[in-house]
Amino acid sequence: MSFDAIPVPLLARRDGDRILIGDPVEEVLSLADDGAGRLRLAAPAGGLTTALAAFEALTATGDETVVLLEGPGWERLAPDLTERGIAVPFDGTLAVFPALFWQVPDRWLMYPAPAWPELFCRGPHGRHPLRPPKPQGLLYRRHIPWLDQWFTLRALHMGDLPAFHRWQNDPRVAAFFEEAGTLEDHRAYIARLAADSHMLPVIGALDGRDFAYFELYWARENRLGAVHDCGAWDRGWHVLIGEEDVRGADYVTAWLPSLMHYMFLAEPRTRSLLGEPKASHAQQLRNLMRGGFARLRDFDFSHKRAALVQLDRQHFFESRLWARPPETDGMPLRLSPATLL
């Protein structure tokens, strides 16, 4: 399915003391700010979809914000909001807290998080849960305010072979990923991933332009499972940026937290996200630390000395790490065009 054929979620923007719903604008909601991090939002005429768009617009920046749902009109939406955990009782009314709202998949996931039962089976590094079927097609979509573009994740398929082949044979990419080869080599590589239940290869795009390749994996069955006591639903990830011009802080702070957000939403039992970059990649590790990862320890694989990094679910949501982090030490957040974690 082309980008243009994918229905665009309703978009909302804050404009001073009001929220503009839709593009072009379909509805305007009044907003009152008490200056203490409490925003009082008028109820929308458009219903739940409009309310969710407004909540995202008010919480996408990571500010210390709670949205109070006061005034007429909210009573008809209250059952849906409270059943999903989007709004909770607070100070005599209902309130939307960012750490709760951003854990509810309605705005971002293209399919419901599966209620997959847990049954443990034997694996290469001990027991692990039987994994659910891998999703297909569009997985995740989010508007990035500082780019004014839509970031999407979709499952890799064989139609992506030409781009995958081109990216892997880029000298910058090959130096990290070490998978340069023929078209048939890469066709076989994609086929192996498709047959591997613990791997999910995905493509990242901005406004429909593919620019990145990600390998998401269940950590217990991966090589990390041999060197770390991974949680049953912990996930790891590899990444390469295939298009050289999609670089710098504006882009890293779009795809990095969005990818983490997707993995936490896709499986509510995922407590941690793990990575194993080279221990010598000082800039890469600084970038990950700014993105909320902790460096746990260094260790040796057969092919590299690695740093074990971890992002905790509670830290991601309570610290609002989906938002663009501030630049620190005068050093911009930047990753090389090809990076393997």
What letter represents residue 297's amino acid?
R
For the question of residue 276 being annotated catalytic, the response is: yes
Q: How far is it, in rounded angstroms, from Cα 61 to Cα 207? A: 20
Cβ contacts of residue 38 below 8 Å, gap of 6+? 65, 66, 68
Cβ contacts of residue 204 below 8 Å, gap of 6+? 151, 152, 153, 210, 211, 212, 213, 214, 255, 259
Handedness of CA 158, 161, 163, 168 (dihedral sign): positive
Long-range pairs, 31-39, Cβ under 8 A, ≥24: 31/58, 37/63, 37/64, 37/65, 37/66, 38/65, 38/66, 38/68, 39/65, 39/66, 39/67, 39/68
What letter represents residue 27's amino acid?
E
What letter represents residue 167's amino acid?
W
Residue 257, preceding peptide bond in cis (omega within 30° of 0): no
User: Of 26, 276, 318, 327, which one is the catalytic site residue?
Assistant: 276
Q: Count of alpha carbons within 13 Å of 111, Cβ hemisphere only?
A: 14
Annotated catalytic sites, by residue? Answer: 276
